[in-house]
Amino acid sequence: MANSQQMPSHIAVIMDGNGRWAQRQNLPRIEGHRRGVASVRRTVEECTRLGIEQLTLYCLSSENWKRPQSELDFLMHLLEQYMIEERSTIMKQDVRVRTIGRRCGIPEGVLREIDKTIELSANNKGTCLCLAINYGGRGEIVDAISRIAHDVKEGQVDPELLTEERIGEYLYTAGMPDPDLLIRTSGEMRISNFLLWQLSYSEIWVTEKCWPEFEESDLHEAIEIYSGRERRYGGLTMHIDNE
């Protein structure tokens, strides 16, 4: 296992393959989502144990609303249940919860439980667990541009002085570090409208395993591979190991 100096500060995960896993097991798709919650629990607990600063999970994309209503209703039920059932563990492990994405379309009961967990965990000092819910990278950029245009019109922003850092302050992820490592399950080689701005220099690791199959050992493997890569940022080679 990589030592702490080689650990990524921020890991983002595209949790893909719940439905495919279920179909391979001759189970309904919703059973894949149910099993996926167990993988979330394992991953959060292991990141907490390893001292990972932030973990961002792609829970529901803005495109997922195209799925059957019965599946969406079950996903909302799972999200609400997770917020209630994991709340004590979140507090015990000193995890701080936040979300990114648009709130529209999410049932009031689910939002209420999300907000309660966010409020209760706001002063925790451990791993930040960021849940991307009803999230889309392009939508995030559109919302940021809209807010910037408003502030320019109001005279609060000089468009001639805009920088990447200033634009970052208008994104959902304002105040969060960009991901060092992106993990994607189910073998798909795309980022699916996830953190388009923030993933510019992230290392990417893909596994053929579907999300319900994702274990602590897979997380360790991703971190090990990350620790051995060279990050250039468009310039000269920079080893992740700074020793």
180 is catalytic: no
Does residue 242 sit within a domain? no
Exactly one of 64, 124, 143, 151 is catalytic; name it: 64
Domain count, the chain: 1
Does residue 51 sit within a domain? yes
Measured CA to CA, the distance from residue 137 to residue 192 in angstroms comes to 9
Say if residues 42 and 237 touch (Cβ distance below 8 Å).
no
36-39: which pairs have CB atoms within 8 A and are 24 or more residues apart? 36/211, 36/212, 37/78, 37/82, 38/212, 39/15, 39/211, 39/212, 39/213, 39/214, 39/215
Q: Supply the pLDDT for residue 232.
A: 65
Exactly one of 3, 16, 123, 124 is catalytic; name it: 16
Give me the CATH number covering residue 197.
Answer: 3.40.1180.10
Q: What is the pLDDT of residues 192-212, one digit of tens each?
A: 999 999 999 999 999 999 999
The pTM (predicted TM-score) of the whole model is 0.92
Measured CA to CA, the distance from residue 205 to residue 1 in angstroms comes to 16
16 is catalytic: yes
Q: What are phi and psi of 181, to 5 degrees?
A: -135, 130
Q: Supply the pLDDT for residue 240.
A: 54
Measured CA to CA, the distance from residue 42 to residue 123 in angstroms comes to 23
Does residue 152 sit within a domain? no
Residues of the chain with pLDDT under 70: 1-5, 232-243
Does residue 182 sit within a domain? yes
Q: Supply the pLDDT for residue 236.
A: 52
Does residue 142 sit within a domain? no
192: containing domain? 7-136+178-227
Q: Supply the pLDDT for residue 230.
A: 77
Token output for 3: 């030592």
Q: Supply the pLDDT for residue 199.
A: 98
